[in-house]
Chains A and B, each alone.
Chain A
Amino acid sequence: MATTTLNPAAPAYRSSLYEWLTTTDHKKIGIMYLINSILFFIAGGILALVVRVELSQPGLQIVNEAFYNQAFTMHASFMLFLFVIPILAGFGNYVVPLHLGAPDMAFPRINALSFWLLPLGGALMASGFLATGGAAASGWTEYPPLSGSKFSGAGTDLWIMGLTLIGTSSILGAINFLVTIFKMRAPGMTLFRMPILVWTVLVTSVLILMATPVLTSALIMLFIDRNYGGHFFDPANGGNAVLYQNVFWFYSHPAVYIMILPAMGIISEILPVFSRKPLFGYKAFVFATVAIGALGFSVWAHHMFTTGAVFLPFFSLMTFLIAVPTGVKMFNWIATLWRGQLTFKTPLLYATGFLTMFLIGGINGAFSAAVPVDFAIHDTYWVVAHIHYVLFGGSVFAVFGGIYYWFPKMTGRMLDETLGKVQFVLMFIGFNMTFFPMHQLGLMGMPRRIADYAASAGWSELNLVATIGGFVIAASMLPFLWNVLVSLRSGEIAGDDPWEGNTLEWATSSPPPPYNFDSLPEIRSERPVFDARHGQPAGHTDQTGH
């Protein structure tokens, strides 16, 4: 392992556990983000299985309605706030300083604070299961009046407090990323030579900075209504219940881009490496990312079409417009693969899984943007199918692609390819078995957030298929966990650059030393390591001709 001259000798009396608990190294913090997120992914997955088993046939089988409500609420809360968002922040933490040629994040101690707020917030949220009346149960959106003090207990207060801490963690992380990106780039690393992942983290951080505080304000108003006799969302006393939805979705729609943009960044790092081509249309991709971020603030009310309290044509039009920059990216990715020398290693499999599944999620989302269609499918399983195709088919596939791609850098050892492919095939099949039938169920009128349905409704077979698919997804996690455990001890030694990568993390050792680099290759394009490997430091800087 290379050492930087900056590496201060660690005092011998400190245990490695102490090192991890007190570290301000962005790489260790990034890895802790990943581990914490995977743990909540497993917890959320178990809750999803509870939901799926309950729905596998008509009638109430294993839980009562009250616990069912807690299960789907906490499933979504864990997956969105404690898995997808933090795990992408974890990749950002690990990779962004390496990509920029920086020794660490701009504020390493604030970085540690951002991380440690997460398990704390998650524990607060999860502790609702121990409270009287159980955990939060009004759905992850927690609309009043259902989330008001009249209908829900202390679990909701714990949920609010936990989510406020998680949001604070996000905001501090976003500030850290932005200052790092603007101020810590190595000499030669201009904005338009930054890897695409860094661009997506930049736009995501702006979204977090502008949207997450608004969620905090919504949560605080809800808390005041619940505990101090406030009337923000209480129509009986001059309040406005739809106000909550407006403030909530002003955060939560940009939040879906917070959950997908860094995943798109991961894909855009993987595809060029395994196609042995530069990313097609670098600048178009950057501008499309910025456009998605900007448009993301003008579409929130498409979640509220059926309230009758929003201006439908505007929000419908803006929602359709988002398909344009997203389509640009789709063609960026396809053109990157086109005539590339594809090597189907596990990261590329996940990237192609992302492309195909996210495409379905994008298309079924565009249908929902049409007002008359939305009125028909609002709050049906169609919406559940859509969210899972973009967030599971999209983000989760990208997350696993990223794990297989960067695991060698993080640990110095390769993950096993065969187990990786087994996991991918199981997950791909299980995912489609679970979520594709939900389109049909939605069109047949099955509402979401119900524990039971009539046997005569004709929904039983598709629900059973979906439940079996859910267990296939769960099974796909076993080869993954086994793979990680075995490879950590006895995986093939990776070397500095096992994939022949393009970006700066491959120019240092695996794992990188504290403060990352002894020296950097000259940065003359967005592929400095490629340039160094092939002795063409003057390599092309634009995509239009080479």
Chain B
Amino acid sequence: MTADATALTTPAEHAAPAADAHATHQSGGIGNPVLGMLLFIASEVMFFAGLFAAYFSIRAGYTEVLNGVATHVWPPAAYKGLLNPFELVTPSGALNLILPATIILILSSATCQMGVWAIQRDDRRGLTRAFAITLVMGIVFLLLQAFDYTVLMHEGLSIGATTFGTTYFTLTGFHGAHVFGGVLMLGVVLYRGMAGQFSAKHHDMVEAASLYWHFVDVVWVLLFSILYLL
């Protein structure tokens, strides 16, 4: 070994290697947790891409016999009235709250981002306030979606009722599972935020959680568009 060997790192930097290995190398640039989350989101994009590909493939091949002719219709004629997001009451009189749920989830992305901006200013109270609101909105979205499921099933749309039902419940169900995962993540950030573990200099996890939450939001916007609007 040559004499000009370079010392690597100081012991102090490795005090907690499992948790803080990311803090030791390559200062500057994007933090390890944030990069890790971006890559994880990339993998999630591909997961949903597989489900979306199946959805579009099945949708393109779907036909119903209308007036004796096989016609391409989507969604199936039976659910047309049920799935109008702008009618807050379904044909059979139940509440249709998918549009309010959508608005709540989109707004929660904004409150989440406000939390990130707050901790960047070292405003810990702002962070916990914004993430608490986001967390509540996420839970409300999940409750509204659960309510919506009961309404749809009551109206005869189930996972086994036509390929529309299969794709609808798979796509929205896995989105809901991701919202649930995001809610757990928000809860951890909130807990650690209230314990004062984040600061203007150290808040990679806050950013990572908010990136995930935005991703979940974007997926819902796409799902809402293809399932209810287009």
| Chain A residues at the B interface, C-beta cutoff of 8 Å | 5-6, 24, 101-110, 171, 174-176, 178-179, 182-188, 209-214, 216-218, 220-221, 224-225, 228-232, 237-240, 243, 246-247, 250, 507, 515, 517-522, 532, 535, 537
Contact = CB atoms under 8 A, between A and B. Distances in A.
B166 A230 contact: yes
A24 B18 contact: yes
Contacts of B166: 224-225, 230-232, 239
Contacts of A5: 11
Interface stretch (B37-45, B86-94, B112-120, B210-218): B37-45
A169 to B, nearest CB: 12
B4 A182 contact: no
Contacts of B48: 217
B35 interface: yes
Interface size class of B (residues with CB under 8 A): 35 or more
A184 B25 contact: yes
A185 B32 contact: no
B22 interface: yes
B216 to A, nearest CB: 15
Contacts of B163: 231-232, 237-239
Interface in B4-27: 4-9, 11, 14, 17-19, 21-22, 24-26
Nearest to A100: B25
A535 B2 contact: yes
Given A175-B39, A214-B47, A517 B8 contact: yes
Given A232-B58, A521-B1, A183 B26 contact: yes
Contacts of B42: 209-210
Contact of A519 (B6, B18, B50, B54): B6
Contacts of B139: none
Those 8 A-B pairs whose CB atoms lie nearest each other, nearest first: A217-B50, A229-B160, A213-B47, A230-B166, A519-B5, A213-B46, A238-B163, A214-B50
Given A175-B40, A238-B62, A217 B159 contact: no
A185 B43 contact: no
Nearest to A228: B159
Contact of B35 (A179, A213, A214, A522): A179
A209 B6 contact: no
B225 to A, nearest CB: 19
17 contacts: A6-B11, A102-B25, A104-B17, A106-B36, A109-B19, A110-B36, A183-B26, A184-B21, A210-B43, A213-B47, A217-B48, A224-B170, A229-B159, A238-B162, A519-B1, A535-B2, A537-B2
Interface in B109-151: none
A250 B158 CA distance: 29
Q: Which of A103, A188, A518 has the most CB of B within 10 A?
A: A103
Given A175-B40, A237-B162, A532 B62 contact: no
B50 A183 contact: no
A214 B159 contact: no
B123 to A, nearest CB: 28
Nearest to B44: A213
Interface of B: 1-2, 4-9, 11, 14, 17-19, 21-22, 24-26, 29, 32, 35-36, 39-40, 42-44, 46-51, 53-54, 57-58, 61-62, 158-160, 162-163, 166-167, 170, 174
B interface: dominant SS: helix
B160 A522 contact: no
B8 A107 contact: no
B211 to A, nearest CB: 14
B5 A221 contact: no
Given A211-B46, A213-B46, A214-B50, 14 more contacts: A6-B11, A101-B8, A105-B21, A178-B39, A185-B25, A217-B51, A218-B50, A220-B51, A228-B160, A232-B166, A232-B167, A237-B163, A238-B58, A522-B6
A519 B1 CA distance: 10
B17 A520 contact: no
A217 B54 contact: yes
A207 to B, nearest CB: 11
B46 A106 contact: no
B156 to A, nearest CB: 14
A519 B170 contact: no
B35 to A, nearest CB: 5
A101 to B, nearest CB: 8
Contact of B36 (A6, A175, A231, A238): A175
Contacts of A228: 159-160
A187 B35 CA distance: 20
A91 B49 CA distance: 31
Contacts of B174: 220
Contacts of B1: 507, 519, 521, 532
Contacts of B160: 228-231
A243 B52 CA distance: 12
Contact of A209 (B18, B35, B39, B57): B39
Given A103-B24, A104-B17, A108-B21, A213 B162 contact: no
A148 B62 CA distance: 21
Given A103-B14, A535-B2, A220 B170 contact: yes
Contact of A179 (B17, B36, B162): B36
Contacts of B159: 224, 228-230
